[in-house]
């Protein structure tokens, strides 16, 4: 079985050709750089770029795989959540290929793609916790099995990736801001600024990041000279505060589950923000000794990519996922909407 997958939910245009045996025959991800000058993703520009890029990288992927397009068995694409323009371009493109070749089309939830990505390269012990950390979502799921996910908490305002980007913009760093903050934070003192930890005393698993962004904004406005030292110290303090928030939520999650006699031995970090080594190492340091191992998907599956969409498609097919050419792209698609 050969899968052709498309991911176009935001500003990455990605296609992947893979087999049910995990053989990735081609995987191409193109990050649109035209958004950098705007300091964030412009939806109209993103959808236009997807349309142009998809046609080229599809030809490149087929060439790299050595396959003719008629050898593809199943087509799939991200159908939500995300920017509606990009979702329509990607899903319509994949559906058109499926119709033209009389093949199946499987709609995939972008979030489920992230959640299942750790099952690609890890020996999974169900149930396990997954922290979904992206530019658009910050959520905690209990994964009982494929197609059985319980949302335990989520952000009430900004996503963690969005907070990184907004703070980076306040400090005049280029977009995307996460890698820039992590890089310069290595030269800073994480205890230089005492930033707020919203919902710190709350016993639930929801997040809030808008208050941290506001605090950074006020500090920047009061600072007369924004030099490299100031930027490094504030970046380090911001990153340190986020690590404390994540560590606290892990403790609460483990405690809540223990009270329900649910034992957890694995904590998965997925999404683009999970590339941040500082955050990953902080969690490993605090929880590995307690018998909870931090797991991640392959590096190329952390940011938005078609490989995770193709892999999710394979998992869905195993539990009777069916072709659905009439599935409509939905920018607010929930995982519950994808229940088989």
Question: Alpha helices, DSSP H only, in the chain?
Answer: 43-65, 84-101, 110-116, 160-170, 177-185, 210-222, 228-259, 277-287, 306-318
In 10 A of CB 332, how many CB atoms? 9
Tokens of 212: 């941290």
Residue 17 half-sphere exposure, CB side, CA atoms within 13 Å? Answer: 20
Contact (CB, 8 A) for 153 and 204:
yes
Contact (CB, 8 A) for 112 and 312:
yes
pTM of the complete model: 0.94
Domain ranges of the chain: 2-115+301-338, 124-296
Strand partners, 153: 140
Distance CA 339, CA 145 (A): 13
* C-alpha closest to that of 126 among 142, 114, 137: 142
Instruction: Please report the pLDDT score of residue 187 as a whole number.
Output: 97
Task: Determine the longest span between alpha carbons in the chain, in angstroms.
Answer: 64
Contact (CB, 8 A) for 93 and 61:
no
Q: Is the pLDDT of residue 120 over 60?
A: yes
Considering only the top CATH level, what class is 124-296? Answer: alpha beta
Distance CA 270, CA 255 (A): 22
Q: Is the pLDDT of residue 43 over 80?
A: no
Vertex 253, ends 248 and 256: CA angle to 5°?
A: 125
Distance CA 83, CA 12 (A): 11
Measure the CA dihedral 85/95/148/295, to 10°: -70
pLDDT digit string, tens, across residues 214-239: 999 999 999 988 899 999 999 999 99
Contact (CB, 8 A) for 286 and 312:
no
- CATH for the stretch 2-115+301-338: 3.30.420.40
Q: Is the pLDDT of residue 156 over 70?
A: yes
Contact (CB, 8 A) for 332 and 110:
no
pLDDT digit string, tens, across residues 237-274: 999 999 999 999 999 999 999 999 999 999 999 999 99
* C-alpha closest to that of 295 among 283, 306, 312: 283
In 10 A of CB 196, how many CB atoms? 14
Q: What is the mean pLDDT of residues 12-39?
A: 88
Instruction: Please report the pLDDT score of residue 40 as a whole number.
Output: 72
């Amino acid at each position: 079985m050969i899968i052709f997958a498309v991911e176009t939910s935001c500003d990455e245009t990605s296609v992947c050709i893979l087999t049910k045996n995990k053989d990735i025959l081609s995987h191409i991800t193109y990050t649109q750089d035209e958004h950098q000058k705007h300091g964030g993703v412009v939806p109209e520009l993103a959808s236009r770029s997807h349309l142009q890029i998809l046609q080229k990288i599809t030809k490149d992927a087929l060439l790299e795989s050595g396959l003719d397009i008629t050898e593809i068995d199943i087509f799939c694409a991200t159908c939500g959540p995300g920017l509606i323009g990009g979702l329509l371009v990607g899903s319509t493109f994949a559906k058109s290929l499926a119709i033209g070749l009389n093949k199946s089309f499987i709609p995939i939830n972008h979030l489920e793609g992230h959640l299942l990505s750790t099952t690609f390269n890890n020996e999974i012990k169900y149930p396990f916790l997954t922290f979904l950390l992206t530019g658009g979502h910050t959520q905690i799921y209990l994964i009982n099995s494929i197609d059985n996910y319980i949302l335990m908490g989520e952000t009430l305002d900004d996503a963690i990736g969005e907070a990184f980007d907004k703070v980076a913009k306040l400090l005049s760093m280029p977009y995307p801001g996460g890698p820039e903050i992590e890089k310069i934070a290595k030269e800073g003192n994480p205890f230089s600024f005492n930033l707020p930890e919203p919902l710190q005393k709350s016993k639930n698993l929801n997040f809030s990041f808008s208050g941290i962004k506001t605090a950074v904004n006020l500090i920047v406005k009061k600072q007369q000279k924004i030099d490299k030292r100031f930027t490094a110290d504030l970046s380090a303090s911001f990153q340190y505060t986020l690590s404390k928030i994540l560590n606290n939520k892990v403790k609460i999650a483990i405690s809540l589950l223990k009270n329900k006699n649910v034992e957890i031995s694995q904590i998965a970090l997925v999404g683009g923000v999970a590339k941040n080594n500082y955050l990953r190492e902080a969690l490993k340091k605090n929880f590995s000794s307690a018998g909870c191992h931090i797991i991640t998907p392959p590096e190329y599956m952390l940011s938005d990519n078609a490989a995770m969409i193709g892999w999710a498609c394979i998992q869905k097919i195993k539990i009777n996922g069916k072709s659905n050419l009439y599935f409509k792209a939905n920018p607010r698609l929930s995982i519950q909407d994808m229940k088989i």
